[in-house]
A and B are shown apart, each in its own frame.
Chain A
Amino acid sequence: MGNVPNAVKHCLSYENLMGESFRLPSSFQEKKWPEVHKFPDFVKIVEVGPRDGLQNEKEMVPTEIKIQLIDMLSQTGLSVIEATSFVSSKWVMQMADHNEVLTGINKSPHVRYPVLTPNIQGFQAAVEAGAAEVAVFGSASETFSRKNINCSVEESMHRFEQVICAARQACIPVRGYVSCALGCPYEGQVHPAQVTKVAKRLHELGCYEVSLGDTTGMGTAGSMAAMLRAVMAEVPIHALAVHCHDTYGQALANILTALQMGVSVVDSSVAGLGGCPYAEGASGNVSTEDVVYMLHGLGIQTGVDLAKVIEAGDFICRALKRPTNSKVSQATSRSQPSFNMCE
């Protein structure tokens, strides 16, 4: 998430993570599940593979491959596909071709293609290249903000305010992200109040939606519930999304928790593109295929054609010469042809 250099960063050892930093706030000690809403009838999937996914892949991907990936994803029924990032190419080389990608894709009328814009310069370049929606990235952790984008959380909010003002004038919707919502690779535990503060600020500044990101994937159903309970007290639930990383295998359980609490927007990445920059060799984004499989199994509509997402995932994995991180894709490509549960 955000402008993350490729190098593995200093991170807490798992001994730290397994220790005290994982005690839940006392309000959760009684172990009653938080107030549960009906499952949403429909969940909007925000596909972040072409941006967040590819940005965290070591292999440089040619522009035409990125374009083809996005075009394939546009045919799957996904309604939001994060296309690229207007950051300086000296920070994120993978996104250096942002203009070509945004102008080269075949934009479907049923799909929105938000792009990242960390500051006003990025925003202006994005608009010039035809962007009709943008996204800004805040952090719930002060240390992460400084290490990731070289400024404090407060300073980043000033930058975003400029972007949001300009976007409002141009009638361009802005989505906000909050990194480190369930933990920080530098600070460890992040208090739900810190997440609430940043989420509320982004929403009040004018973000139509705020995506709460478990940047290190260390969150669990317990910390997800505690964090959401705090944020939902200040930001309306229809304006919230979750962006879960599967670094510790917890993503689907965390997403399920969010759904049970009424969240109906889930970010994910085709083929689980995008490793974790904080734990070399570990996985990052949750796979869109696995999320959609779960949602469909719950009878929740997504509008997404899972077989087509799997195809898009296969395509990009062949291009990247790496296996998919999606378990659904791994399982279905190798199962016996007769295994078909469809009635």
Chain B
Amino acid sequence: MAAGLVRMVCGSFGPGPGPRGVALSSSTAAVAKAVSLSGLKPLPEKVKIVEVGPRDGLQNEKTIVPADVKIRLIDMLSEAGLPVIEATSFVSPKWVPQMADQEEVMRGIHRKPGVSYPVLTPNLKGYRAAVKAGAMEVAIFGAASELFSKRNINCSVEESLQRFEEVMSAAREEKVPVRGYVSCVLGCPYEGSVSPSRVAEVAQRLYSMGCYEVSLGDTVGVGTPGSMAAMLEAVMREVPVHALAVHCHDTYGQALANILVALQNGVSVIDASVAGLGGCPYAQGASGNVATEDVVYMLHGLSIHTGVDLPKLMDAGSYICRSLNRRTSSKVAQASCKL
């Protein structure tokens, strides 16, 4: 059966080089098919949405957005009922010019009680600057792929984890919660397929280092419900499901199906980006982050509580799209038809 699957799956694309050869290995597909249905739990009653639009979304938008627009966006998102809004990133502006106004944004936003505003801190220097600017929660980014780590942040996965140890130490002392991210959990733009056990290893390291939550990111959006289920099964052996989140990209249109499978496996924290902000840097013109509106629509249709007011969320999406002079990537927003 395995050989047949290889022929079938790889036969759908030319096996040789070329821009359109994308397929799963047969063993992953076989395992995926088995696990997709085996461990289904009741769906969570509540899901926490982590809104990454102002950071991950805007960071991947070409148009530079002024600080006051970012602040207004974050304030609108706070009013929409989102419990966590990733506000900005304390990386060097020479790497990410969009986030150069990090301090101004942190100081300018209206912090709604009960809402967290985590910021990215790639190293101790960034962490210190973040705390000085008033950050009360931070996030660190690891990768499940060695090549991705080297090309993205110029160091190996192990070196990056050591940098994060410094951040963790400081954060622990100052009682600042830290969220961990793992990139490339379902595939890497350079290495291709990524083994679930490698993802589990990195996730486990971040969790045991002290991250209260680990968000598993399908960075290039190539994952499908099959590979999502297989990866989660491996990770859940090392990290308790309540500490896991999924961060799905919709580059291949698979995000909502992947999120559904994650929910069926007990995950109850979903990252999403208002208006689907943030294209994919690895496939020019293709979409990236899944749209928060579309996720919330699905969750509400499943009677899952999110605390999010969808019309207000859509208003925030319209606002930022007007500012960016671009069309929303949210299908719910596109479809909304006012009488």
- B256 located at the interface, meaning its Cβ lies under 8 Å from any Cβ of chain A in the complex: yes
Contact with B along A177-188 (1 / 0, CB 8 A): 000000000000
- Report the minimal beta-carbon distance from B248 to chain A, rounded to whole angstroms: 11
Contact with A along B22-35 (1 / 0, CB 8 A): 11111001101100
- A169 located at the interface, meaning its Cβ lies under 8 Å from any Cβ of chain B in the complex: no
B17 adjacent to A297 (CB under 8 Å) = no
Contact of B253 among A11, A24, A257, A290 (CB under 8 A): A290
Contact A298 to B260, CB < 8 A, known contacts A250-B298, A327-B286? no
- B118 located at the interface, meaning its Cβ lies under 8 Å from any Cβ of chain A in the complex: no
- A38 located at the interface, meaning its Cβ lies under 8 Å from any Cβ of chain B in the complex: yes
| Interface window among B36-44, B67-75, B122-130, B206-214 | B36-44
- A342 located at the interface, meaning its Cβ lies under 8 Å from any Cβ of chain B in the complex: yes
User: Inside 8 A of B285's CB, which chain A residues have their CB?
Assistant: 330, 334
Q: How far, in whole Å, are A334 and B189 apart by their CA atoms in the complex?
A: 12
Tally of contact residues, A, Cβ under 8 A: 77
A14 adjacent to B334 (CB under 8 Å) = no
Contact with B along A240-280 (1 / 0, CB 8 A): 00000011111011011100100000000000000010111
A256 adjacent to B286 (CB under 8 Å) = no
B260 adjacent to A305 (CB under 8 Å) = no
B294 adjacent to A330 (CB under 8 Å) = no
A306 adjacent to B12 (CB under 8 Å) = yes
B282 adjacent to A298 (CB under 8 Å) = no
- B152 located at the interface, meaning its Cβ lies under 8 Å from any Cβ of chain A in the complex: no
Give the secondary structure class of B's interface: loop
Contact of A331 among B36, B221, B336 (CB under 8 A): B221
Q: Which residue of A lies closest to B293 (CB)?
A: A249
Contact of A33 among B17, B19, B43, B297 (CB under 8 A): B43
Q: How far, in whole Å, are A145 and B9 apart by their CA atoms in the complex?
A: 41
- B115 located at the interface, meaning its Cβ lies under 8 Å from any Cβ of chain A in the complex: no
A-B contacts, CB under 8 A, total? 252
How many chain B residues sit at the interface, stated as a range, is 35 or more
Within 8 A of B (CB), among A291-323: 292-294, 296-301, 304-307, 310
- B97 located at the interface, meaning its Cβ lies under 8 Å from any Cβ of chain A in the complex: no
User: Inside 8 A of A294's CB, which chain B residues have their CB?
Assistant: 224-225, 253-254, 257
B10 adjacent to A342 (CB under 8 Å) = yes
B253 adjacent to A326 (CB under 8 Å) = yes
Q: Which residue of B lies closest to A327 (CB)?
A: B253
User: Inside 8 A of A296's CB, which chain B residues have their CB?
Assistant: 8-9, 12, 23-24, 29, 224
Contact with A along B305-339 (1 / 0, CB 8 A): 00000110010000000000000001110111111
- Report the minimal beta-carbon distance from B305 to chain A, rounded to whole angstroms: 11
Q: How far, in whole Å, are A290 and B257 apart by their CA atoms in the complex?
A: 11
Q: Which residue of A lies closest to B339 (CB)?
A: A13
User: Inside 8 A of B84's CB, which chain A residues have their CB?
Assistant: none
B253 adjacent to A33 (CB under 8 Å) = no
Q: Which residue of B lies closest to A294 (CB)?
A: B224
Q: How far, in whole Å, are A287 and B253 apart by their CA atoms in the complex?
A: 9
Within 8 A of B (CB), among A160-174: none
B336 adjacent to A257 (CB under 8 Å) = no
A220 adjacent to B297 (CB under 8 Å) = yes
B20 adjacent to A310 (CB under 8 Å) = yes
Q: Which residues of B contact A (CB under 8 A)?
A: 5-6, 8-15, 17-26, 29-30, 32-33, 36-37, 40, 42-43, 45, 187, 189-190, 192-193, 220-227, 250-254, 256-257, 259-261, 264, 280, 282-287, 291, 294, 297-298, 300-304, 310-311, 314, 330-332, 334-339
| The 8 residue pairs across chains A and B that have the minimum distance between CB atoms | A220-B301, A297-B224, A299-B29, A249-B331, A327-B253, A249-B294, A14-B336, A290-B253
Q: Would you list 18 pairs from A and B whose C-beta atoms are within 8 A, ordered by A residue?
A: A14-B336, A14-B337, A15-B311, A31-B45, A33-B43, A248-B297, A248-B335, A249-B298, A249-B332, A250-B297, A296-B12, A299-B226, A306-B13, A334-B283, A334-B285, A335-B286, A340-B17, A340-B18
